[in-house]
Structure formats: C-alpha cells, structure tokens
Amino acid sequence: MAGLEERPPFEILEHTADIGLRARGRTPEELFENAAAGLLEILGAAAREGSTDVEITEEADDPAALLVHFLDELIYLVDARGARIAAITVRLQAPTRLRARVTWTASGEPLGGTELKAATFHQLSLEERPDGYVATVFFDV
Amino acid sequence: MQPERIDEFEWRIPIGTVPGMRVPGVVFATEELIGKAVEDRAVEQVANVATLPGIVEASYAMPDIHWGYGFPIGGVAATDVDAGGVVSPGGVGFDIACGVRLIRSDLDWERDVKPRIGELVRTLGQRVPRGTGKGGRLHLGRTTMDQVLAEGVRYPLAVGIGVEEDAELCEDGGVLDTAVPEHVSDRAKDRGGDQLGSLGAGNHFLEVQVVERVIDPDAAAAMGLEEGGVCVMLHSGSRGLGHQICTDHLRVVDQASRRLGIEVPDRQLACVPVTDVVAQRYLGAMAAAANFARANRHVLTHAIRESFAAVFEKAGERPRKGSSPPLGMSMVYDVAHNLAKVEEYKVGGRVRTLCVHRKGATRAFGPEHPAIPARYRRIGQPVIIPGSMGSASYVLVGTTEAARKSFSSACHGAGRAMSRTKARRVMSGVDLVKQLEGRGIAVAASQPKLLAEEAPYAYKDVSQVVRTCEGAGLSRTVARLVPVGVVKG
C-alpha cells in the first residue's frame, strides 16, 4: 500500500467562494484514491503514519454520487474524529459500490489546510476517457 | 447571458433564458455589480433556480450575489407549498442557519476601549474557541445534544448561560419548534458534539466595531446604538452538525428527486415537494440545525461578555443587575442568512403559504410584522450586514415594500469577488495582518497563513451592496460600523 504522497494526479480548481478538485486515474479505484489524496491536500489532513484502520462501505445510484459520498465520509472522519490519514485503498465491488480501507491516526491539532463542509453535487462529473477516468467535484468551504 | 435592465437597481432574466424556467430571474444590482454577476456566471444560476417546481413570482438575487454551488450565493426562491412547491437543501446550503449577531455596549471607543484594544482582542482570542477542529465551550452528550436541537437558546439559558432578553432578541425567539432531533443522524450529532460555542474557520469571525455614523437616529436609538459606541459583531453557523445534516439529507433528496422525475439543471438543486415525507424530515432536521446555530452564537456571546468583563470590569467597580449583561452588552439582534422558512405572502391576489429559501440572503421583515420583537415593531426588523474583514459593516432595517419585492429579503454581506487561492496570491496573511494593524485594527488569527483568503480585496464593496438594497427598496440603512479588532477562526 503506497503512501498517498507518492500517488499521481489531481488538480485543485478555483471557484469564487469554494474549492474544486479534478482527479484522474487509470482505473476507477485509482481515480477514487487520487481524489482522496487531493481532498487530504486541501484539508491538510495527511499523516505519515496511521495507527487505526477503518473500513468504509458506500453505495450510490451512480459512480459520481459514489465519489461524493466517499469524499464526504473522509470529511466526516477528519472533522468528527480529528483523523489524519496515512493511506487509503479503494476496492470497487461494482461501479456504484465501494469498500475502502483507511489508515489514520487521531489528532487534537488544528488542520493544516482549509476546513471543508462537504463535497457537493455542483457540476459533478465522472467520465471514462480513452486514457482513463476523470472526475470533477466541488467542495463547500 | 445579459439580463435586461428594469431600472437603476433591478435587472431581469426572462423566462426561456435557460430551458425549463417557470418564472423570470430578478437581480437587484447596480451596473457594476451586475457586470460581476454575469462574469462569474452567477446570473446563470439565478436562471437555473427559476426551474424549481412550484416557484412563484421570480428567482431573486441580492446585490452581493456570487457564484455558489447550485443556488447562487445571494439567492432567494419561494415555492408554493400547496401547489407542489419544493424544498431544496442546496437552497439552504451546508452551513444551515449561519448568521450574524450584533451585541452593543455602554463602552465608548475613545474613552474606554481604544487604550486597551490590544488586551481586549488577545483576551477574546484566548476565550473564544475558534479555528478548525474540535473544542467548543460546551461538550454535549447525546441527551444534552437532543435538548439543544429541540430547544435552541433555551437550553443554555436553562443552565445559566446568558440573559433571558437574549432569546427575545433572536430571530424566532432563539428556537424553532418545528425541530425534530430524531431526523438528525448520530453522525451529525457526533460531528457537532464538541463544537457548541465555537466560531469555526473560513469566513467566520468576530469583530469589535465602533459605530462610525448613525444614519437613522430613531432606529439606532431603538437598538441602543450611538456614534462612538463599541459593539461586537459575530458571524458563525451550525458548525459540523449543520454540514452533516445537509450532507445526509441531500443524499436522500437527490435519490427521491430522481425517483419523482424532477429535472433540475444542476444536481445540487435536487429538491422534493415540501409535503413529501423526505422534505418533512429534512425540514425537521434543518430546524434542529438552526436551533444549534442560535445556541452556538448564544454560547459564544457569553464568552465575548466574559472577555469584556475580564478587561473592563474590576470587582465592585460597576455593580451589575442580575438580569442584565455586563457593561450594557445587550444583543441588538441575531438573524440567519442560510435558511428555508415557511412564510405567508400575497401572491396573485391571495395569501399563500410559501417555502422561502434564503441562501446568503437575510430575512428583512418591515415595520409592524408580528414576528419581530416588540421593541423593533415600529422600525422594522434589524438586518445585520458584515463587511469583509477590516472593512465597514452595516445595520439596516427591513421595509414593508420588501415583502412585495423580494419576499422580505435583503443582502447578507459584501459577497466574494475573488477565489481563495487568488486572494492568497495577492498578499500573504502576515502582510495582511501588518496592513490591518497599520490601520489601527488589532488582529487575532488562528491560521494567519489562510487569513488573506478573507482579505477585503477578495470581496465586493459592501457600501455599494447596502446602497443597492436601499435603492431597490429592500432595506433602509441605520448605521455604519467600522472594525477596531478582528478575531478570526
């Protein structure tokens, strides 16, 4: 399981009031993992090492909504539990069903980045392209 | 998309501008402000909102409009409950019942506060929990959380925090009795359990302000405001609890909306008829979040009063009556700018029950409205407009005319004009602190690195926004306040 900081690409997008993310992946799993890495960068909630493992299971009507629910789950962990996340492995059991393992440690310190309220459905997209998968999601700051 | 000009302060987006519009869009703006709204595509979002089932009259936007997610920030939409009108959680937003509270004092800037402003802001910085993450003033277990969700400010009052008058001077008397704590998930309760009495981060703040100019002496006197007087303005919301409630219910509404075949141009506008059980559950949870938000600002008010008392009140020096706050620190008013409310208006010749969404817009009832505190009945409901950090803020009152023009709504602030990243590139947080301090404004910030995101240059000119509201007849200006101390999350 590679550390998140070694993983490739996501871009952080500008929005008048909020922040967006464009993530890519060769597989849907990699797309979800890269989106998570982008989220952690915005939050400043990545950790070098984790002490606890938690399993997240999510189901949605469509893959884009699944991504929103997954990212919301991570925001919840960070906000409610003070989680600082060291690694995430995603397994898609179907395009709309996910199981992820999150390795994290609790922190009482303030976040290193921007606090986010939630992932939104605004201009949400998740597409398969010839070279892989691309998703765009905006967060409410 | 170029709206049609109606007059100096009003612009119209005709039906048909985007497919499915049921009513026109109306934006209250000057030529300069409408230009910005067109540029950042917020006007397109006004048109999108006009497609909501059951929407009546128009999809409105206030002069501080900017691009939001789904709804524009500054958007107002009213739907007819008895004609299939919908509620959209996105039209309230994630920070449910985020709002502003103004507290006055007997202290004079020059005489009392100026010599000790540094000490005051440091004390506020220490006593008011803020910034990201955990640590409110009150920790809530499951039972006490449910009490806050059901009782709003009545809960902290019952445990001896604040004064009775605080409830009366809060919108809805500080509690919405439509709250249903059972429709709030355990996860939302977890997320907010440690956050009651905490400011939060982002654009939330508290400012020590001085009344610079009284424009309406009669209304200002009713609010206890006079030139040179020191006030505190507080901007905070329902914290993680409200965010999680929106997240949870949006998910269900998104599914239900599609099941019902409701088509919206942006998925964040997902909605269901107000009479649907899914909508009723959302509205019960939303009201609970509103109660939490009011209780949060109530507990923060206590921390603010304590800080002032610690700095300005020596033992025995200023005897205090048991029922009145220290140093004359009474509330002026507390009003939300992210909420959906069921209100009655005359539309098409008859009174109808409407679900009024205000997303970054403030309720602004005119004189004689029964829902406003007795002491303001003659002048209209106070509307508190925070400027961007370090710029001026305003106190307005609602007008009778606003009921007809905007479902009794006015602006909510300056409105962003620049993205956070761009704002950080213009100036570092450290330089911004220096600049504010150079202007005599004391600053306490928990994340100085991010401070520049909220710099005045990242926002529109609040004075122009307020002038536009007055010009359009939505509100009247009572007083202008300037900051002398800023405490940021």
Decide if B255 and A61 are in contact by the 8 Å CB cutoff: yes
Q: Which value, to the nearest 10 degrees, does the dihedral of the CA atoms of residues A68, A70, A73, A74 take?
A: -100
For residue A131, give Cα distances in angstroms to A8, A26, A35, B202: 14, 7, 17, 37
Look at residue B60 and tell me whether its pLDDT is greater than 60.
yes
Residue B464 is which amino acid? Q
Best of A42, A72, A121 to substitute, by most chain B Cβ atoms within 10 angstroms, is A121
What is residue B317's predicted lDDT score, i.e. its pLDDT? Answer: 52
Decide if A108 and B133 are in contact by the 8 Å CB cutoff: yes
**CATH classification at residue A56:** 3.55.10.10
What is residue B182's predicted lDDT score, i.e. its pLDDT? Answer: 98
What is residue B202's predicted lDDT score, i.e. its pLDDT? Answer: 80
Nearest CB among B240, B267, B447 relative to A124 is that of B267
Q: Which of B80-89, B235-244, B455-464 has the lowest mean pLDDT?
A: B455-464
Average pLDDT (B85-102) is 97
How many Å lie between the alpha carbon of B282 and the closest alpha carbon of chain A?
17
Return the H-helix or E-strand segment holding A75.
Answer: helix A63-81
d(CA A113, CA A42): 6
Task: Please confirm, yes or no, whether B412 is among the known catalytic residues.
Answer: yes
Structural domain contains residue A13: no
What is residue B434's predicted lDDT score, i.e. its pLDDT? Answer: 92
pLDDT-based confidence at residue B322 (cuts at 50, 70, 90): low
Nearest CB among A17, A72, A110 relative to B247 is that of A72
d(CA B409, CA B403): 8
A17, closest residue in chain B (CA to CA): B419
Q: Which of B17-31, B313-327, B382-396, B402-416 has the lowest mean pLDDT?
A: B313-327
d(CA B248, CA B251): 6
d(CA B25, CA B4): 10
Decide if B417 and A16 are in contact by the 8 Å CB cutoff: yes
Whether B381 and B398 have beta carbons less than 8 Å apart is answered as: yes
How many Å lie between the alpha carbon of B72 and the closest alpha carbon of chain A?
11
How many Å lie between the alpha carbon of A130 and the closest alpha carbon of chain B?
26
Contact list, B267 vs chain A (CB under 8 Å): 121-122, 124
Whether B398 and B475 have beta carbons less than 8 Å apart is answered as: yes
Return the H-helix or E-strand segment holding A86.
Answer: strand A83-94
How many Å lie between the alpha carbon of B383 and the closest alpha carbon of chain A?
23
Query: For the purposes of burial, counting CB atoms within 10 Å of the CB of B462, is it exposed (0-12), middle (13-18) or buried (19 or more)?
Result: buried
Decide if B67 and A15 are in contact by the 8 Å CB cutoff: yes
A18 touches chain B (CB under 8 A): yes
Best of B43, B243, B248 to substitute, by most chain A Cβ atoms within 10 angstroms, is B243
Q: Which of A2-11, B351-360, B466-475 has the lowest mean pLDDT?
A: A2-11
Structural domain contains residue A123: yes
Structural domain contains residue A28: no
d(CA B44, CA B66): 11
Tokens 């103004």, located at residue: B102
pTM, entire model: 0.95
B94, closest residue in chain A (CA to CA): A117
Best of B69, B252, B262 to substitute, by most chain A Cβ atoms within 10 angstroms, is B69
Query: For the purposes of burial, counting CB atoms within 10 Å of the CB of B346, is it exposed (0-12), middle (13-18) or buried (19 or more)?
Result: exposed
What is residue B133's predicted lDDT score, i.e. its pLDDT? Answer: 53
What is residue B318's predicted lDDT score, i.e. its pLDDT? Answer: 52
Q: Which of B31-35, B177-181, B192-196 has the lowest mean pLDDT?
A: B192-196
A72 touches chain B (CB under 8 A): yes
Name the average pLDDT for chain A.
91
- ipTM comes to 0.90
How many Å lie between the alpha carbon of B136 and the closest alpha carbon of chain A?
13
Nearest CB among B187, B190, B419 relative to A16 is that of B419
Best of B49, B98, B132 to substitute, by most chain A Cβ atoms within 10 angstroms, is B132
The residue with greater pLDDT, B210 or B130, is B210
Domain limits for position A98: 33-106+115-140
Query: How would you classify the pairing of strands B25-28 and B59-66?
Result: parallel
Average pLDDT (B249-273) is 96
How many Å lie between the alpha carbon of B155 and the closest alpha carbon of chain A?
23
Decide if A122 and B246 are in contact by the 8 Å CB cutoff: no
Query: How would you classify the pairing of strands B205-214 and B272-273?
Result: unpaired
State whether residue A77 is helix, strand or coil: helix
Decide if A122 and B255 are in contact by the 8 Å CB cutoff: no
Average pLDDT (B70-91) is 97
Name the average pLDDT for chain B.
94
Look at residue B314 and tell me whether its pLDDT is greater than 50.
yes
Structural domain contains residue A24: no
Phi-psi region of B246 (alpha: psi -120 to 50; beta: other; left: phi over 0): alpha
Average pLDDT (B180-201) is 93
Name the nearest CA neighbour of A124 among A31, A39, A21: A21
A59, closest residue in chain B (CA to CA): B251
d(CA B341, CA B176): 10
A16 touches chain B (CB under 8 A): yes
Spatial neighbors of B328 by CB under 8 A, at least 6 apart, are: B104, B105, B106, B107, B224
Return the H-helix or E-strand segment holding A78.
Answer: helix A63-81
Count the neighbouring beta carbons within 10 Å of the beta carbon of residue A139. Answer: 28
State whether residue A121 is helix, strand or coil: coil
What is residue B415's predicted lDDT score, i.e. its pLDDT? Answer: 84
Average pLDDT (A24-41) is 96
What is residue B22's predicted lDDT score, i.e. its pLDDT? Answer: 98
Whether B283 and B340 have beta carbons less than 8 Å apart is answered as: yes
A140 touches chain B (CB under 8 A): yes
d(CA B380, CA B395): 12
Report the residue count for chain A.
141
SS3 letters across chain B = CCCEEEECCEEEECCCCCCCCCCCEEEECCHHHHHHHHHCCHHHHHHHHCCCCCECCCEEEEEEEECCCCCCEEEEEEEEHHHCCEECHHHCCCCCCCEEEEECCCCEHHHHHHHHHHHHHHHHHHHCCCCCCCCCCECCCHHHHHHHHHHCCHHHHHCCCCCCHHHHCEHHHHCCCCCCHHHCCHHHHHHHCCCECCCCCCCCEEEEEEEEEECCHHHHHHHCCCCCEEEEEEEECCHHHHHHHHHHHHHHHHHHHHHCCCCCCCHHHCCEECCCHHHHHHHHHHHHHHHHHHHHHHHHHHHHHHHHHHHHCCCCCCCCCCCCCHHHCCEEEEEECEEEEEEEEEECCEEEEEEEEEECCEECCCCCCCCCCHHHCCCCCEEEECCCCCCCEEEEEECCHHHHHHCCEECCCCCECCCHHHHHHHCCHHHHHHHHHHCCCEEEECCHHHHHHHCHHHECCHHHHHHHHHHCCCEEEEEEEEEEEEEEC
Spatial neighbors of B109 by CB under 8 A, at least 6 apart, are: B210, B228, B229, B230, B484
Look at residue B343 and tell me whether its pLDDT is greater than 90.
yes
d(CA A139, CA A141): 6
Nearest CB among B246, B417, B446 relative to A118 is that of B246
Structural domain contains residue A63: yes
State whether residue A52 is helix, strand or coil: strand
How many domains in chain A? Answer: 1
Residue B70: HSE in the Cβ half-sphere, 13 Å Cα cutoff: 30
